[in-house]
Amino acid sequence: MSVQERKQRERAERERLIVATARELAEQQGWDAVTTRRLAERIEYSQPVLYSHFRGKREIIGAVAIEGAAELAATVRAATSAADNPRARVTALARAYLDFAARNPAVYDALFQLDGGLAFADEDTPEPLKDAFAALLESLGEVAGDGVHPGLFTEVFWASLHGLATLTRAGRQLPEDAAQRVELLVDRLAVV
């Protein structure tokens, strides 16, 4: 291995450490607790080293969002792959999405609530974000109904899931009714 390859590998490892530490800190204490000073202390590097990887917290949030989008896509695909019919796939997708949001609140916030400097619904959208949407579209497109654009239907269904995730997390909905909400969403929106 050349010196340059080793340096590139070490740089990539430092970057992964910064992102993992930011994510861990955000999950434990919220995004307000994530500062470059605190990250530098936790990973035992100077603040200038952090700034050599990320220009600031916004870019770190963006990196967590990109990582989270890949995880969300994998989660949704794993959940839907075991289902044997469209209704079961959509139900599995909804449950997996809501479970992901509940288990990873800081990642979910990085993806959908905070400014990570990422473009959405644009040519410049990073591939992991596009792939997360594609993972939803794969199952939802088949239940959009006649004359309904699959992408548009996916956006509306996704917005419904996001609303459920956000309202549940904020304590605005009774947790014991979660399964009924998913069933109602699938029954009323999906053509199965």
pTM: 0.93
pLDDT at 190: 87
Query: What single-letter DSSP state applies at residue 149?
Result: -
**Interatomic CA distance for residues 162 and 153, integer angstroms:** 14
Work out whether the CA dihedral 114, 96, 92, 77 comes out positive or negative. Answer: positive
| Interatomic CA distance for residues 106 and 61, integer angstroms | 9
pLDDT per position as a tens digit, 28-80: 999 999 999 999 999 999 999 999 999 999 999 999 999 999 999 999 999 99
pLDDT of residue 192: 73
Residue with tokens 């770190």: 60
Q: Please provide the average confidence, as pLDDT, over all residues in the chain.
A: 95
Structure tokens at 83: 């289902």
C-alpha distances in Å from residue 63, one per residue of 23, 123, 155: 10, 18, 23
Q: Is the pLDDT score of 14 beyond 90? A: yes
* Confidence (pLDDT) at 66: 98
Residues near 167 by beta carbon (within 8 Å), at least 6 away in sequence: 173
